[in-house]
Amino acid sequence: MTTEQIKYNDMSVKPSGMVDHLSDAQWAKVAPLLTQHMHYPPSEVISRRGDLLDHSLLLLDGLIARSVPSGQRARNTFVALQFPGEFVDLHAFPLKRLDHDVVTLADTRVAIVAHEPLRELLNGDVELARKLWLMTLVDASIHRHWVMRNSAMRALARVANFLSEFDARMSAAFGMERQSLPFSLRQTDIADATGLTSVHVSRTLRELREHGCCTVAGGKLLIHDRKELHKVGMFEAAYLYVPQSEMAP
């Protein structure tokens, strides 16, 4: 394993994104559990399907996919993506056994939360426990959207919707919308996430580019016309349950 272990002391600043569902006071309780950090290069398998976990991960920076062996395709299938400020596998806290691999898709930093101290913390704070529950339920809502997207949308709309979601969740992580986003996914990764082949993803991205929606190139996602991208992808962000305090002017 080519991982590297570092100690940070300062988690006092609450990251943007999903953890913003927590109040400042709640974050102040969770932060002390995040003493141990790890750093991984891209395409690294952090945990494997079937593993019994005694800890979960908070994604600080980078990008992570949850991946399962694919039914009848050559490569694996991505069943979820996690962005900075999101818990990667908090469901392992009640569930323990993992039903998917956890794989990095970029240079990635995570903070480790051991389940034992987390259990003690949550035993004494019902509200906080409910917030963490809620955050896993947002994951489930996103899963449901992925089922719809990969079952009922054509390639062009499917990829446009996927990129719209990427934009929205990345914006939540940044705390603002951007015209240019870091985009470490290869076209084969987009294929794994959308249930298409990388060949057809290539063709579809060209189409989106020629429509003037967006360009994926050089590790960047350039949004030319967000409104048009959303329209092509029939994108409505409600299912992401982005915290209120986010995205304020």
Partner DNA sequence: CGGACCTTTGAACCCCGTCAAGGAATGTGG
Partner DNA sequence: CCACATTCCTTGACGGGGTTCAAAGGTCCG
- Residues interacting with a second copy, by CB under 8 A? 66, 68, 70-73, 77, 79-80, 91, 94-95, 97, 99-100, 122-123, 126, 129-131, 133-134, 136-141, 143-154, 157-158, 161, 194-195, 234, 238-239, 241
Residues making contact with DNA (CB under 7 A) = 73-74, 154-156, 186-188, 195-200, 202-203, 205-206, 217-218
For DNA, give the closer residue by CB, 88 or 205: 205
Residue 199 partner contact from a second copy, DNA, none using kind-dependent CB cut-offs of 5 to 8 Å = DNA
Nearer to DNA, 34 or 155 (CB): 155
* Residue (115 or 200) nearer to DNA, CB: 200
**Which of DNA, a second copy, none has residue 121 at its interface (CB below 5 to 8 Å by kind)?**
none
Distance of closest approach, residue 237 Cβ to a second copy, in angstroms: 11
For residues 218-227, one letter each, b for 16 or more C-beta atoms within 10 angstroms of the residue's C-beta and e for the rest, the string is eeebbbeebe
DSSP string, the chain: ---EEEE-----SPPSSGGGGS-HHHHHHHGGG--EEEEE-TT-EEE-TTPBPSEEEEEEES-EEEEE--SSSSS-EEEEEE-TTSBSSTTHHHH-B-SSEEEESSSEEEEEEEHHHHHHHHHT-HHHHHHHHHHHHHHHHHHHHHHHHHHH--HHHHHHHHHHHHHHHHHHHHTS--SEEE----HHHHHHHHTS-HHHHHHHHHHHHHTTSEEEETTEEEES-HHHHHHHTT--GGGG---TTTT--
Q: Pick from DNA, a second copy, none: which does 188 bind, CB < 5 to 8 A by kind? A: DNA
Least separation in angstroms between residue 195's CB and a second copy is 3
Judged by CB, which is closer to a second copy: 158, or 169? 158
Give the chain's length: 249
> In terms of CB distance, is 34 or 157 closer to a second copy?
157
5 binds, among a second copy, DNA, none (CB under 5 to 8 A by kind): none
For the bound state, the minimum distance from the C-beta of residue 245 to DNA, rounded and expressed in Å, comes to 35
Complex with DNA: residue 136 or 197, whichever CB lies closer: 197
CB of 223 to a second copy, least distance (A): 21
- Among positive and negative, which fits the CA dihedral 239, 80, 100, 193? positive
Q: Quick one: what does residue 186 bind among DNA, a second copy, none, with the CB cut-off 5 to 8 Å set by partner type?
A: DNA
Say how far apart CA 103 and CA 224 lie, in whole Å.
30
| Shortest separation between residue 60's beta carbon and DNA, angstroms | 22
